[in-house]
Structure formats: C-alpha cells, structure tokens
Amino acid sequence: MSSPQSFLALILLQQPDLRVPDNTQLILTSATCLAAAGVFFGLTVLNQRVAFLFHLPLPLGDFKGTPFLTIAGWINEYGPLITIRSNFERIVIIGRYKAAVEIMEGQGKFVADRPRMIVAGEIVSGGMSIALAPFGDRFRRMRSALHSHLQPKAAEAYQPLQMSHVKNIVLGVLDNPQNLQHHVITYAATTIMKAAYGKNTPTSATDPEMVAKMRPGAYLVDSIPWLRYLPWYGRELKLGFERRKILHTNHMEWVKEQMQSDQDIVPSFMKHMLENSQSYDLTEAEMAFLGGSFLGAGSISRRKTSVSICTVLMAAACFPDERAGVRAKLDAVIGRHRAPTFIDQGSLPRLQAFISEALRWRPVPSGGFPHRTTNRTYDDLSHQENYCIPAGTTVFGDHWSISRDSDVYPEPHASKPQRWIDEQGGLRDDLNFFVYGFGRRACPGQHVADRSVFIATLLVLWAYKLTLDPTQPWEVLPCTFEFKKRIPEMELRSMLQHYPKVV
C-alpha cells in the first residue's frame, strides 16, 4: 500500500436493506473491471440511489508521508467506514468510535482472525506466535493461558517489580536529564524481561528483525505462498525459526532450573506456565513460544510503553494549566515528604484522566493492527446507515481517526482530561479509547502496561516540573524536556533509596 498503483479503488457502500440490488451488483462488477484496468473508481450508494465518483480525488502524494492524516481525511469525507482495494484484496478501515465499538467489540468473534502472514506467522514462528496465529484452537488455548496470568488482579503481582525499576527514571534524570528516552526504554525493557522469565539479563532477540518480518509484503512468499515449498527458498528464514526455537527453549529451561533449585524466585510468566502446565493443554514447544511471544510482544510493548510515557510527559509540558491541576492533587494526596506508590492510585482519578486523554490526544498506534473477518459482518450505525463486511476482508481500526471523532470527543484536537471524569469526580466507565487494540485481539498485557505508564508518570510529575526545550522541535517524539526539581536532590535520592526493591 506504499505506492499509488496499489490503490485500485476506494468504495464506500451504504446498504439500507443489507442487500445489493441487481443493478448495483452490475455496477460493482463493472467497477471491478475498470479497477483491473488500473482506473481509480469510486462508488457511493446513498439511500438506495447510486452516485458515481469518477476520478476520485485520492491524496496520493500525502499518503506515503502521513498515511494516518490521509486516512483521516477520507473518513471525514466518506463516512465511518471506507473500503480500499489493494490488488485483489479488500481492506476496510474503521474510523469512528461507534462503528469500532459495534464491529470490533460487539462482533469481535467475527473479526478475531488475522490476515495470513507466511513469513512472520508461519515460517519464522512455526505458527506458534499468538499475535499472528489464525483464530482457532491453538489461539484459544494460548490466549487462555495469557489471560489467566495477566488479568487485572493477576497483574497486581508485578507492581513491586515495576516500582523497583521505575525509580531509575527519576534517578537517571538527576544524572543525565538530556536522555529521558533512554531511561524510559531501559525501565520498560528490564521490567518485561523480569516479568517474562524473572531474569535481569537482556534477550538476544532483535526487535527490528521481527518488525521487518511482520511488515505485509516484506517477502515475496507473502504474495506467492507456494514459494515456501521450494527447497531452496527461505533457507535463512527457516534457520531463523530454529534459532528462535532454541532461544525460547533455553529461557524456559533456565526457569525450570531455578524452580528445581528451591530458590525463592520472583513471579514470572514462565514460572506460572510451568506450575500450571496441566491446565492449558499446551505442548512444551507451544509453552516455549508463548513465553517468547510474551517477551516479543513485550519488546513491542516496551517501545509502545516507553513512547506512551513520553507522550504523557509531552502533554504535561504542552498543557501547563492541566499539569498544574494534576500536581495540586499530587501534593494534596502525597505531599513532598514521601515517594508515591501504587497505593495512591485510587485517590488520583485526575492523573488517570490526564493519562487517558494524552493517549487519545496523541494515540501511540495511529493505524492499528490488521484483523480479518471469518463471517459476514453487519453493522447498523443508525436508521439510515447499514454496512456489510464480507468474510475474508482485512479490517483495521484506525486509532487516529477514531481519536478525532467529535461526536464522542468534543474538540478532539484539544486536550481535555475532564471528559474522562464523571459527575462524582471518579473515572467514567462509559468512555474508552482503544489504546491496546480491539476485541479478542486486544493486547493481553494491557493491564501490566497500564500500570507501567501510570507509576512512571506519577513518579516523574511528583519529582519534577517539566517544560519543553524551546530550542528543540516537540511535534515528533522523542522531544526534549527541561526538568526542574520539586524536591531537594538529597531528599529525593534518600526517599528513592528506600523505595520498594525486587532483586
């Protein structure tokens, strides 16, 4: 989808009776023929009347540079759902909150599949990557194992671990205030490795390698599947699977050895899996790769968590009035004579509202991850607008466009944390933003990630007054902050020295 030629047509179908009339079907068939000839053709069906949009003005020059803005423009012009045809594939993009709730959440079981990714999902991972696995028995068993360990109550077990490492962000700023992003990434990386295996040492798995393999179309075999059966094709990819299998198995065996040594080891995902292996009906290979998926997803989540933390801090620097309101609440609840902990979370709904609004204001995943429909999906957005998404369609929930839905988020380009607060001063339970994805494919580690972002934001805003460096650009992360200590350095170091620690 990176070149103009890949977009053969942009079609928005509104079907009030959920049926395509015969004359419309004829027109659609003709449109397909025109598309095959390389002609861009748009079709809109409005109130059972057909309107033709020849030479549809696609902003092709802008798509490559800022695709999320281009898609947002299409959503604004054509409606909450748009269809793009790329070669012979249908891609539906959902760009409004209500449509995302009704389709991605309400009909989640029909959009829980993934498009086939032969390299990333089959060759490199042996079909055992939960993030890319098709919706079926193996996915359900692996998802059940993850969810049992990462539900909100279970995720609380990682809070001491998160507090043990988050103080290093504050201490790192004291020693090197110009390198905030490094401090945040280090925090996220150490916590995810410890959470996965109870280890402090880094993994040798490389993020850029896996990200490249996950990119649709990065390998020819993703478009021509039979190439994988040629004995000379993809030898390096197959060796990559063997290396990954050894890596994940070695991590699992290390945890086994620690458990057998009768040491009092910290909670970890792999420890939980080995202690409860009979409950999930997983093979050892599946358990090893599930641990690798936990770590791999954590590696992606590590970058996402670090970007989320920096995004919230950027919002704090950009909106001083809102930051002052949050800080006043911190001073009232915590004061400056002790360091904050998770115990304070229930007393700080305003801080959580500020975090939620910052991640809506600048959503970290602007475009979303692909889903695929397994059944024909229907959506009734209003009395006049009915949509049908055929089985086998790739579906994206576009986070940026959803975040700009003015019907749900009035003045969407402004930061307004108060929108997340109810009349009683608590957090609203009827408003959401899909930071971690949709439906049955939402990130299972979201509750751990939420806590990481919360405790890091809490500690930094409590310890520092931060502003943006006026000499540096701030629109694109990482931006440069200037920090002013709110607590004398010696007192701050002393309080953090007595902060909870996990060995």
453-482 b/e (C-beta count within 10 Å ≥ 16 → b): bbbbbbbbbbbbbbebeeeeeeeeebbbbb
| Residue in the structure block whose two tokens are 């065996």 | 253
Cis peptide before 267 (omega within 30 of 0): no
Write phi, then psi, for 421 (nearest 5 degrees): -105, 135
Annotated binding residues, written as ranges, equal 443
Transcribe 210-277 into DSSP letters: HHHHHSTTSSGGGTSGGGGGSTTTTHHHHHHHHHHHHHHHHHHHHHHHHHHTT--PPP-HHHHHHHTH
Token pair for 428: 């609203």
CA atoms of 468 and 478, how far apart (whole Å): 11
- Which residue, chain included where needed, has tokens 């030898």? 235
Residue ranges of the annotated binding site for heme are 443
Bridge partners for 427 per DSSP: 421
Length of the chain measured in residues: 503
Q: How far apart are CA 110 and CA 36, in angstroms?
A: 29
Tell me the sheet residues that pair with 378. Answer: 388
| Nearest-10 Cα torsion for 238, 123, 84, 208 | -60
Work out whether strand 89-94 and strand 81-86 pair parallel, antiparallel, or are unpaired: antiparallel
